[in-house]
Chain A
Amino acid sequence: MMKKAWFAVAVLAVAALAWVLLAGAHSSPPPTPAQQTVKADQHPGYPENKAELEATTCRECHSQVTPEVYKEWSQSKHGVDNVRCFVCHGDFKTFKKTPSVETCRGCHADQFDNIRMPEGKTDKTCWSCHPAHGLTVHKTYKTRPSPLY
């Protein structure tokens, strides 16, 4: 029973991948970055695999599925200080693959007001210079891996 369900998911996932990669190949030009953003604001496998996904924390999957990203975040200041995945990316229903800069505003209101505002001062995002998921520019830190996650 379990194996059948997983097979179905595999088929769907492959189909999703194929659709995304081949969408432009037949009838229209490749998706623009904006279109990619819109499509990407749905967590892969959701809501088709709602039950499965909602029985898991972000880290349980992502420490395995996106290990480089997970490690980069985990060893950074944001990781050590527990700015966890859903703080920036939301939960499945509120999922944002790319957070808005208002998310960063929560802790960095000063920089948001003085660098972003007034409107139009810059079209850069915070991560134009502070790339995810280390979110640092020059500094590197030596931190021990977490015992728990």
Chain B
Amino acid sequence: MSVTRRDFLKTTAAATVASTLGVKLAIPTPASAQNDVDKWVRGTCRYCGVGCRIYLGVKNGKAVAVKGVPEAKTNFGFICMKAFLQYKIYHHPDRLKYPLLRKGNKFVRISWDQALDLMAEKFADAIKKHGPDSVAYYGSGQALTEETYLAQKIFRAGIGTSNVDGNPRLCMASAVGGYLTTFGADEPSGSYSDIEHATCFFLIGTNQSEAHPIIFRRVMTRKLDNPDKVKVIVADPRITPTSRIADLHLQFLPGTDLAVMHAMAQVIIEEGLYNKDFVEKYVAFKTVGPDGKPKNMTFDEYKQFLQDFTPEKAEQISKCPADKIRQAARWFAKSENTFSMWTMGLNQRTRGVWANNLVHNLHLLTGQIGKIGADSFSLTGQPNACGGVREAGGLCHILPGHRKVANPKHRAEIAKIWNIPVERMPKKPGYHTVEMFRALGDGRVKAIIILCTNPAQSLPNVGPVREGFKRKDNFVVVFEAYPSRTAELADLVLPTPILFEKEGMYGCSEHRSQYTFKALDPPGEAKPEIWALREFSIRLGKKLNDPVFTQIVDHLKSTEDIWNEYRKCTKGRDMDLWGATYERLKKLPDGLQWPVPTVDHPGTSKRYVKGMDVLATGPEAIQFYGHPDKRGWIWARPYKGPAEPPDKEYPFYLTTIRVIEHWHTMTMTGRVPELMRGFWHTYVEINPKDAKKLGISNGDMVEIVSRRGKVVVPAKVVEGPIEGVVAVPWHDQNMQRMINFVTIDAFDPGSKQPEFKICAVKIRKVSGPKRLKPTIVDLNIV
């Protein structure tokens, strides 16, 4: 917006008009009646990992309104702007309605019968010629649990490959790795309900005011209602709207947070602020031995290790002032109850698992875990990354019920439930996400199903990924509700319902599984994914002359059928959902938190604590039963910075961020005009000092180049990112503004999660401000 326009508006009568007809006048409105809606149908929000419960308002068979569920313990009736306008995503004219087959640059409508037969033929062909590992399934933390479970069963028990992965690999894999190495078991021990008892919040690598707004609402309320009692520490290279409630903001260079967190631990031990009793009873210290296996450490060895990370040394590495590190450490340790939360800032890293370990270290050192109000709580990004993918076997190395592909005992347990010979179960993990799309690109994968996700926009270093799709000798099937950057590269596009047009389960961040009722019919010929996958399996089995394909899916006709079989897989596991029947889930405003081992068990809000967790069967008050020693492990992780730090040629850090208006790649939110009003093109946040040096003014068009690709976006000069860092929201579909052309596909060696958050770029002004148009992909359908 130019200065001229601003001045003009200030001085014209327009401004006077706006403020004289002010809302301070009591303008009466007609008496309201709820006749804008015939029925309210309860379910879960389609978007983030908070798991807000909503009622979708339906009138004459159409979604017309949304309101929150006041009794739900996730959101207490509150919803963010995306949820508010969620009803608009159901009836947009761009909804995909028919199966579409690529013919050159266009798509032609075909029947489901033709589509499913073609799918089966292509997959059978690939399997016969190149073996079971030449096909793959790439799923999603936004698919229903029942969809993920069914798909991975078909690929493992039918086809015999573990090339089953999903977009939580890009999002939560490091958090999984952190929980598994520290506690021996995945997912947080506490719940959102800890928030209302916390006295110190440590928010690191999260801009929750925009990415998890309704969790932030609870933290904000806790802080604003108790301004002196509650302390909020925000740790982020970037000052964000989340920092508005911060008492202390730790700013540091991207990827140096390992040093900062080690330094906090150093202070806590140095000043005697650790919980000696807790450490003696419940903690073990570990490092990695020369053989690559965990090796015990003593407390004194750990203390000695931390001497490389005094606050002064950490300040040299990170640029975070030493006195701020000390302050954070003291508040963290001395507070009555400290609750940490983080998301992509710690997970989307080449050392994401280690970053997760280091937050857990602080909680274990200070005993800020295993009590109400305190926890080391990873926020999940997607609505069903936990429930569907992490729990139902949607990653290449895991099986349903928190089991491992590589574990013979686990394979045998699942094979028994599936009633198949255990020899059919693939013995080793398949391709993880980055590798899967490299394999699609170099010909190792010949046929792939992509369900409810958008890898041709969301993968890092997406240029080569997109090229891989274009090979003539591979067959790409995309299940989607809307045209997307991935659907446009597909060979076959299959139209799907959106959440309230089917029924099923989502599991959110606080290990809570929640049911959504069907409220509407999907448009056109869109059919539930579970129907299409079942048909695919049966037809594939016929082409391969293998009756097991029918046997494994025959009885799984409804989501409830699938859920009931899946529940068997969880029986007796740490994530026991045996007591979470559809009957119970349908009656509850907000579902059940596992473990919930029987139908009369109320669910578990605090794991590992005797008396609160039915699985804590031993005598100790706190039992981290994921490990044989029942202790939490503090890991002495070495310091390691990012894979591609800045250098002479590429002197800036690029990080990728989110805005509240949009969800992921905007295929849904980009079709809501009010949300587009807030954001219809991306931009780059630049620190004013950097902008001045480069001669960049607010609004100027800026080119951002990495070793991999480039974008051209307008500058937003703002005291957001620390000097030396630029930040770009990743939602934009426009090919000149899609930031994943620039990002790096280096990944964490443990979790295989890519480092979206850090790479090296050079930037320069290319022109003055330009008026930009929104881009929402469409398909060329004839």
Contacts and interface: CB of A to CB of B under 8 A. Distances in A.
Nearest to B9: A65
Interface in B347-366: none
A80 interface: yes
A105 B66 CA distance: 9
Interface string A9-50: 110011011101000000000000110110010001100000
A141 B224 contact: yes
B220 A77 contact: yes
A145 B244 CA distance: 7
Interface in B49-81: 55, 65-70, 77-81
Nearest to B2: A2
Contacts of B720: 147-148
Given A80-B209, A82-B241, A119-B33, A133 B23 contact: yes
A100 B29 contact: yes
Quick one: which of B17, B19, B246, B679 has the most chain A CB within 10 A? B17
Contacts of B66: 106
A2 B25 CA distance: 36
Given A61-B1, A98-B27, A132-B23, A87 B81 contact: yes
B419 interface: no
B84 A148 contact: no
Interface in B12-45: 12-19, 21-29, 31-34, 36
A86 B63 CA distance: 20
Contact count band on A: 35 or more
B8 A10 contact: yes
A97 B25 CA distance: 12
B70 A102 contact: no
Interface size class of B (residues with CB under 8 A): 35 or more
Interface in B309-337: none
Nearest to B81: A87
Nearest to A20: B17
Given A33-B25, A58-B677, A84 B81 contact: yes
A90 B674 CA distance: 6
Interface in B196-226: 209-210, 213, 216-217, 220-221, 224
B38 to A, nearest CB: 14
A109 B77 CA distance: 7
Interface in A85-139: 86-87, 90-94, 97-98, 100-102, 105-110, 112, 116-117, 119-120, 123, 125, 127-128, 131-133
Nearest to B771: A55
Contacts of B19: 66, 68-69
Contact of B1 (A2, A40, A45, A56): A56
A86 B677 CA distance: 8
A25 to B, nearest CB: 16
Given A37-B29, A44-B18, A81 B771 contact: no
Nearest to A107: B78
Nearest to B76: A110
B12 A14 contact: yes
Contacts of B9: 61, 64-65
Contacts of A4: none
B508 to A, nearest CB: 19
B5 interface: yes
B221 A77 contact: yes
A142 B226 CA distance: 11
B693 interface: no
B660 interface: yes
A120 to B, nearest CB: 6
A142 B782 CA distance: 58
B718 A123 contact: no
Contact of A65 (B18, B33, B210, B243): B18
B114 interface: no
Given A80-B220, A110-B70, A133-B23, A87 B15 contact: no
A99 to B, nearest CB: 9
Nearest to B54: A106
Interface string A56-81: 11101100111011000000010011
A98 B243 contact: no
A97 B31 CA distance: 17
Contacts of A86: 81, 674-675, 677-678
A37 B25 CA distance: 11
A40 to B, nearest CB: 6
B10 interface: yes
Nearest to A89: B674
B639 to A, nearest CB: 29
Nearest to B28: A33
A123 B29 CA distance: 8
A98 B1 CA distance: 26
Contacts of A101: 29, 32
Contacts of A6: 4-5, 8
B33 A82 contact: no
A147 B718 contact: yes
Contacts of B25: 33, 36
Given A36-B27, A44-B14, A101-B32, 5 more contacts: A33-B25, A44-B18, A87-B674, A123-B31, A144-B243
